[in-house]
Amino acid sequence: MKEVNIKNFAQEVKQSEIPVLVDFYADWCGPCQMLSPIIHEIAEAYQGKLKVVKANVDHAPELAMEFGVASIPTLLFFQEGSVQGTSVGFIDKNGMEQKLQAWGVS
């Protein structure tokens, strides 16, 4: 899974031809560690329909500030370069799939 930062964010997320799910996380965050395997499952299940990337808030604090990420994990759903959906806190796989369907990813 690709790590994004301020240098590659525009290319990887804003200019993506398919929707992008950005996982804002930190290595020390317990709920982020619980969410990580679910994020990997989602990335595999939706390959070709949804691009999934990770943004470590400790390595890319400017991205967290730009998008108002105050708590982690935070998931931002981008379509055509702009945020179309947000999820804050741990979410199980069923909840994640429901959000993706609500955001138009199937």
Cβ-based neighbour number of residue 5 at 10 Å: 13
Q: Is residue 31 part of a domain?
A: yes
In a domain, 60, yes or no: yes
Residue 27: what pLDDT?
96
pLDDT at 97: 94
Q: What is the mean pLDDT of residues 83-90?
A: 96
Contacts of 80 (CB under 8 A, 6+ apart): none
Is residue 29 included in any domain, yes or no?
yes
pLDDT digits (tens, 9 = 90+) for 41-82: 999 999 999 999 999 999 999 999 999 999 999 999 999 999
Q: Is residue 102 part of a domain?
A: no
Q: The domain containing residue 50 runs over which residues?
A: 2-89
Q: Is residue 99 part of a domain?
A: no
Confidence of residue 1 (pLDDT cuts 50, 70, 90): confident
Q: Is the pLDDT of residue 106 over 90?
A: no
CATH number at residue 45: 3.40.30.10
Asked, for residue 63, whether it belongs to a domain, the answer is: yes
For residue 16, being part of any structural domain is answered with yes
Backbone angles phi, psi at 73, to 5 degrees: -75, 145
Q: What is the number of structural domains in the chain?
A: 1
Active-site residues, by number, are: 29, 32
The secondary element (H helix, E strand) that includes residue 9 is: helix 9-9
